Amino acid sequence: MRPVVTVEEMRAVDAAAADSEAVLVERAGTAVASAALRLLGGAYGRRVVVVAGKGNNGADGRVAAARLADRGARVTVIEATDAPARIGRRPSLDLVIDAAYGTGFRGEYAAPAVEPGVPVLAVDIPSGVDGDTGVASGAPLRADVTVTFAALKPGLLQGDGPLLAGRVVVADIGLDVSRARIFVVDDDDVRNSLPPRPRVAHKWQSAVAVVAGSPGMTGAPALSVLGAYRAGAGMVRLGMPGVELDALSVPEAVGEELPATGWVDAALALAGRCKALVVGPGLGRSDDTAAQVRALVAGFPGTLVVDADGLYALGGADDAARALAPAAGRVVLTPHDGEFARLTGAAPGPDRIAAARAAATRVGAVVLLKGPTTVVATPTGDVRLAAAGSPRLATAGTGDVLAGVIGAFAARGLGPLDAAALGAHVHGAAALLGPPQGLVAGDVPDLVARWLSEVCGD
């Protein structure tokens, strides 16, 4: 996993550095120059403009300028405060290096315009983009490449950051980021962490229960069941209050109709041999349903994935914390922004990492906040980011599939944090295998199986 360090944490890392500021600036500027050489395909005769501010970001840019000049580039350094409204154009300009302001910048920055076709390389983060939230203020330049130092910054992964940063390169300049609490999930993390099926595997070793659906709402449980099966569940036991299983067109689903009301004892019996339980998709929002969900959470001994109407049943954060207390350390909540606002009393806001952390601490459960970059936070402040998401997933029912995937990963042996984070990564990465237009939720389970087969093998 790749570490992510907030602006405040980065200041502490800088302060604790064994090397002097001058040495670190030299290394950072050299890393920027190396990236510039790769973009340029060489230095001799190339024309480069460096927009440099007064702080360390500008100092990094000036070192890069000197290194490029040493290699034969024609370099002009422009002070950020004196920059013209527009910088030259091709063919007389080959590269602009944005070293005006770094991650600690506050206020608005109106960058000089750069002609289309002239590549831009940003130092640490595009100037004018908040280092933590990724919110762009003013008119920052859109970079083709951003060279950041020691670790990724949250602002490169949320808000406007991903749109403005281009390809991000992390340069090691000798800073210790081993105390990072935030990490980005990659394909290798899934490959290395997801337990393989043992040679003597049987279906009950990775069994998942799904308690979901209601009259007229059978699509959501079907998608959760398929998501769980395609993510490796050996058995999925399904209970739908007041709905016969014949109403569900998933022949692999095994289970029984639950009573329309007062169904918790039957649901617990159905889930008795299962390692994980998904509760909520399409379940309905009656008072009886809410009471049954809370009793189910208190009574199930394995990992719980609470989604959709299950979140509604928990109520606000204080009520949710009381309901979840018997299952402390075993619960994953999966809200989208609207559900998050109902749970906590406020929308996530621009700093989604901080919002998810605060919510997880408040309710005492792992919180998976869905979004372009999905944030998974624990009550103790550990965070995993799934940045493989795509607008293709912004269609009804994909969240039901994700709940099933997380349930399957938990049943296969992952803890709540890893099940949620790896599940979100796989869910997002799998969607990229589908059509760029017209993806529907029913496509996603098969894409999950295909992705896992290609990345994890047998």
Per-residue pLDDT tens over the stretch 395-449: 999 999 999 999 999 999 999 999 999 999 999 999 999 999 999 999 999 999 9
Residues 6+ positions from 453 with CB-CB distance below 8 Å: none
Closest of 145, 144, 177 to residue 32, by C-alpha? 145
Residue ranges, CATH 3.40.50.10260, the chain: 2-178
Residue ranges, CATH 3.40.1190.20, the chain: 187-456
Answer yes or no: are the C-beta atoms of 316 and 336 closer than 8 Å.
no
Per-residue pLDDT tens over the stretch 211-257: 999 998 989 999 999 999 999 999 999 999 998 877 677 778 888 88
Residue 458 pLDDT > 90, yes or no? no
Per-residue pLDDT tens over the stretch 170-220: 999 999 999 999 999 999 999 999 988 777 677 888 999 999 999 989 899
Closest of 305, 261, 255, 250 to residue 427, by C-alpha? 305
Residues 309, 310, 313, 319: is their CA dihedral positive or negative? Answer: negative
Per-residue pLDDT tens over the stretch 98-144: 999 999 888 899 999 999 999 999 999 999 999 999 999 999 999 99
Q: How far apart are CA 48 and CA 42, in angstroms?
A: 12
Per-residue pLDDT tens over the stretch 256-276: 889 999 999 999 999 999 999
| CATH number attached to the domain at 2-178 | 3.40.50.10260
Residues 6+ positions from 101 with CB-CB distance below 8 Å: 53, 55, 57, 80, 109, 127, 128
How much is the pLDDT for 247?
67
Per-residue pLDDT tens over the stretch 3-18: 999 999 999 999 999 9
pLDDT band at 295 (very low <50, low <70, confident <90, very high): very high
Cα 421 to chain center, whole Å?
Answer: 8
Q: How far apart are CA 410 and CA 207, in angstroms?
A: 10
**299 against 202, higher pLDDT:** 299
Question: Mean pLDDT across the stretch 374-379?
Answer: 98
DSSP string covering 19-86:
S-HHHHHHHHHHHHHHHHHHHHT--TT-EEEEEE-SSHHHHHHHHHHHHHHHTT-EEEEEEGGG--SE
How much is the pLDDT for 90?
66
b/e sequence 205-218, b meaning 16+ C-beta within 10 Å: bbbbbbbbbbeebb
Closest of 417, 451, 458 to residue 187, by C-alpha? 451
What proportion of the chain, given as a percentage, has pLDDT over 70?
99
In the three-class reduction of DSSP (H, G, I as helix; E, B as strand; rest coil), residue 303 is classed as strand
Which amino acid type is present at position 64? A
How much is the pLDDT for 203?
82
Q: How far apart are CA 110 and CA 117, in angstroms?
A: 20
Answer yes or no: are the C-beta atoms of 382 and 181 closer than 8 Å.
yes
How much is the pLDDT for 390?
84
Mean pLDDT, rounded, of the chain: 95
How much is the pLDDT for 199?
73
Residues 97, 100, 101, 102: is their CA dihedral positive or negative? Answer: positive
b/e sequence 184-204, b meaning 16+ C-beta within 10 Å: bbbeebbeebbeeeeeeeeee
| Domain with residues 187-456, CATH architecture | 3-Layer(aba) Sandwich (3.40)
Question: Mean pLDDT across the stretch 26-40?
Answer: 97
How much is the pLDDT for 149?
98
How much is the pLDDT for 140?
95
Closest of 378, 314, 377 to residue 351, by C-alpha? 377
Least confident range from 40-49, 79-88, 144-153, 332-341: namely: 79-88
How much is the pLDDT for 266?
97
b/e sequence 30-44, b meaning 16+ C-beta within 10 Å: bbbbbbbbebbeebe
Reading the block at residue 434, the tokens are 């589908």
Q: How far apart are CA 60 and CA 199, in angstroms?
A: 54
